[in-house]
Amino acid sequence: MAGPLAGVKIIEIAGIGPGPFCAMLLADLGADILRIDRAGSVRDEFPDEPSGDLLNRGRRSIGVDLKSPAGIETVLRLVESADVLMEGFRPGVMERLGLGPDVCEARNPALVYARMTGWGQDGPIAHAAGHDINYIALSGALAHIGRAGEKPLPPLNLVGDFGGGGMLQALGIVSALVERATSGRGQVIDTAMIDGASTLMAMFHSFLNSGAWSLERGTNLLDTGSHFYDTYECSDGNYISIGSIEPQFYAELLRLTGLEGEDLPHQMDREQWGAMKERLTAIFLTRSRSEWCEIMEGTDVCFAPVLTIPEAYEHPHNKARQTFVEVAGVPQPAPAPRFSRSRCEIQGPPPHPGQNTDEGLAAWGFSDEEIQKLREAKAIA
């Protein structure tokens, strides 16, 4: 069967990072997404090979001049038959283009209008530039990521852009569609990456409020402070990960490292975490990563080798689950999550900007004559 979002029609105003990531998730789930790229970014001729930007996979791209009245009218006509419009400009940009929520709602009262920014649609710095590192800094997340005595360490741009932004927007869109089934009306979604990053930190607010979390970075249970939740170097220069938090898993760690039976401090004796980490560091350096995999992989230690992206492609578990797939010769993450009846699949490789202008407009109800007139007016690429 088709993906669970089959039949849902989404207009994506082209952006970068978290917006395309959100659209990728929804396309993988079966949504019909029409990406609107600026006409000026469209090439005269398209290469034979697909675009290399995997975040743009699974949808059509049309080139539209958003400074042209005819171009804006083209988008508004698309809005009339859309379920969702998603955009990621700074506050006020869509209004200045003539594509703000009020204008779009007038054309389609059932439209879900999803807006994503770093700082949100309002607030003292809502109009300022920013990136993931800034949003997670202000949310209180970045200060707690890193090792003791070292500066905060940005965890790629996963927490603000993709977790707090793109993934939260996807949830918001699906939730608004569920609500619309009852009310019959669309609504505006204000997705702010600073809000999303803050939400991801909820458990650590609980820890801090209960006295179980220190503000000193790298001294806590989950931030590399403990010896049983960390990465360790092996004799071949590769690394492994250990997450033996629960007592039964910790007991297995002691057994498989040869420490079982020794007179050791209690697992949660924080004063001894440093000394225990030194012991485990020395032990893990005695064998290669592959040797430790033979000893620990598949046990209840809570263990995994630290793999690079190419290594992850080849791991037996990932291959068995087809966690990664190949499309047009390019390996990439498979759609997630998985459903028992609805089949999620990558609908196609990433298009070049404007590569599907005629095809995309035709699929959304434009006639050949209308497309030709738009092209003559330079409203489309």
Known catalytic residues?
A: 131, 161
CB 35 within 8 A of CB 22: no
Q: What are phi and psi of 376, to 5 degrees?
A: -65, -35
CA distances, 40 to each of 61, 62, 379 (Å): 13, 11, 11
CA distances, 373 to each of 35, 77, 366, 367 (Å): 21, 15, 11, 10
Question: Which of 195, 193, 198 minimizes the C-alpha distance to 143?
Answer: 198
Question: Which of 371, 363, 357 minimizes the C-alpha distance to 81?
Answer: 363
Gap between the Cα atoms of 231 and 212, Å rounded: 22
Strand, helix or coil for residue 251: helix
Contacts of 20 (CB under 8 A, 6+ apart): 12, 14, 53, 55, 56, 166
Contacts of 324 (CB under 8 A, 6+ apart): 312, 313, 318, 331, 332, 333, 334
Contacts of 374 (CB under 8 A, 6+ apart): 70, 71, 74, 361, 366, 380
Gap between the Cα atoms of 77 and 99, Å rounded: 11
Instruction: Enter the DSSP assignment of 89.
Output: P
